[in-house]
Structure 1
């Protein structure tokens, strides 16, 4: 997400050796401290773009997820080398173009198991899916963020090993001339719950999308064209599908420092969403130099949406830094640090431990399973080494 340091040869050899040995010993680590949860609140608006979105749907039409996947046009592949950590149960890489692209970076991860749970083998619209969020830079050397997208990846033996990119857009214009524009967030974390897709917006909170409202666009035009070209023609950088924003969840706090929404993850066990901050101990210019926090926000009862106003149910100050990803499930927490390539585990009853982890690691998603061991899904953003992988969570739970 923010650190692209390469694993040293010695470190890679050690990691592979540990993998071949079949286990990685945990080491004790300092633990979080509790903060007053009531100082963190959310305000949610799921209807901000209703009028324009209705006009866009009427003009362009929608494509259900199964149609998007029927038209998947990229092939995922097996990583050329094993992911060098213990307990990997499955992995893939994007195609060579995406794997080596220095202008697009994968960030957040969520799955259809987040969306629907374990029913029907965790399938959404007939597909078992891994969803990854990306941000786009202006160029390989210019880090200015110019757009955001998602990738829907089939993880199901019933279907080909395919994936499809869907551009994230913000509705603009009016009901008579509906339009859309690029979203330029870092998309550092993503969580799929029911039909809603929550995407982290670093300084504000989250943007909300609805997977039932994927729009069909014209794949023509030049790569730079976005939005309405005529009454019936809409381009989207040659994407065939766009996902328009439906709402916004805004973060508020009475604390001295506002929350930095670096990553998010769903906790289905407690029907809540957790977020964590990326901060530095010292020396960072673009990120806070202070201890990071992790905060839990409950969804409205019997809903996959937040209430109009929500107060956090848990808040932690963390002793670890450069946290690109965090996840929680039923009282247990995991945090991935790109600073020291470790995965930190913590539960109030048992304390903290740390495990060797991948370089350039990103977000984490918890994968529930009724008949098999539960998993942790994660990914790497480094150019040329974009592994998306799952590990057995029991091996990283103290």
Structure 2
């Protein structure tokens, strides 16, 4: 049935997506499309040495550990997905253990992989392991306030057991003589691993930077709320055995008059850059902006896994979709996950937008390059009882 042109114009003016009846996995052309913004109005300032002195002092007090060390001591079992995701192109996936799946105080958010970190070389292994990395935030009660953030490293290699380990994110504090650390209190809505560096979205500011080659081992046996230096030889981290200290900051600025809300990020290895997007509402939200969201691309310094001291965006878009928890880009193609619509939106400047049925409670997206098998899109679900981490063939969601 055709739709009158006057209704289409009205729908576009209101930001409404007009589409045909949607069969799961089948693309439906969306009426509204992203529009270009002036990328020059978005900049980043990078500081990778902010915590150098404190991190050197911490390393003199605590044993250094590698990713391989951590995974050799992985103490949680991942398990098979039992939900019916009903996603065309579904490739593989897992759930966390029963405790993490049912935990109402900890919520998985961002996703990245060792394929992001090192590409397809050596089967995407980092320090001998092919890994899925998920970021989480923790509340002080099921309906409480955010108190800290962590990452989970999950082995994804048949050579190793189906294990994972949790590592606490910390910010160095104290002095060189008495170094300590405190919790990193961010939503951790997006995460990107590139080389040794881990970039974690910090909603109102930009990104926090960590170095995966500089994890430390802490003391266990304290109380669940103890954090940081207890004495010269004892450092607690809420009973986490490992911490990943922050090494730097990436601070965002804009001349647009409206600061970016860094809700989710993803790595684009094809055009070495990080892309970000905003979680916003069309109206009625009290905890999130009520305006159209944006997506912005920030390039890495040429040939490096770091940003220059000052970086100007190379691409910026205003988006017609809302409640975006995930973004990915590769070879001038874009994907956006809307938890509000339960859709995955696909867009290129040449082909325009398409939409696909997606999971409920969907979060971040990570693009998985492969030289022998189809490229994948990795994503995950947040809802308690349904913490599924899954991959679909990218080609099934490509317009």
Pairwise mapping of residues 90-239 of structure 1 onto structure 2 (< 5 A)? 90-142=92-144, 144-239=145-240
The equivalent residue for 1:316 is 317
Pairwise mapping of residues 19-34 of structure 1 onto structure 2 (< 5 A)? 24-29=25-30, 30-34=32-36
CA contact (8 A) 2:325 2:337 kept: yes
Pairwise mapping of residues 318-333 of structure 1 onto structure 2 (< 5 A)? 318-333=319-334
CA contact (8 A) 2:83 2:386 kept: no
CA RMSD of aligned residues (A): 1.1
Q: Aligned partners of 1:219, 1:393: CA distance in 2, in Å?
A: 42
2:340 is the counterpart of 1:339: yes
The equivalent residue for 2:7 is none
| Counterpart pick for 1:57 among 50, 59, 62 | 59
The TM-score, its normalising length taken from structure 2, stands at 0.94
2:265 is the counterpart of 1:269: no
Shift of 1:81: 2.6
Q: Aligned partners of 2:131, 2:84: CA distance in 1, in Å?
A: 22
| Counterpart pick for 2:71 among 60, 69, 82 | 69
Name whichever of 80-89 and 177-186 sits farther off: 80-89
Shift of 1:24: 2.3
Shift of 1:222: 0.7
Deviations 1:270-321 (A, max 9, x none): 0010000000000000111000000000000110000000000000000000
2:304 is the counterpart of 1:303: yes
Shift of 1:85: 1.6
Deviations 1:188-216 (A, max 9, x none): 00000000000000000000000011010
SS in structure 2 of the partner of residue 359 of structure 1: coil
Q: Aligned partners of 1:81, 1:262: CA distance in 2, in Å?
A: 27
Shift of 1:219: 1.4
SS in structure 2 of the partner of residue 212 of structure 1: coil
**Aligned length in residues:** 378
Q: Aligned partners of 1:82, 1:164: CA distance in 2, in Å?
A: 26
The equivalent residue for 2:14 is none
SS in structure 2 of the partner of residue 66 of structure 1: helix
Deviations 1:82-122 (A, max 9, x none): 32221110010000000000000000000000000000000
The equivalent residue for 2:248 is 247
CA contact (8 A) 2:25 2:397 kept: no
Structure 1 residue runs of 5 or longer lacking an equivalent are 1-13
The equivalent residue for 1:384 is 385
Shift of 1:63: 0.4
The TM-score, its normalising length taken from structure 1, stands at 0.94
Q: Aligned partners of 2:86, 2:106: CA distance in 1, in Å?
A: 24
Deviations 1:364-390 (A, max 9, x none): 000000111000000000000010000
Deviations 1:218-255 (A, max 9, x none): 11101010000010000000000000000000000001
Q: Aligned partners of 1:82, 1:212: CA distance in 2, in Å?
A: 37
Q: Aligned partners of 1:92, 1:83: CA distance in 2, in Å?
A: 12
Q: Aligned partners of 2:315, 2:281: CA distance in 1, in Å?
A: 22
2:285 is the counterpart of 1:289: no
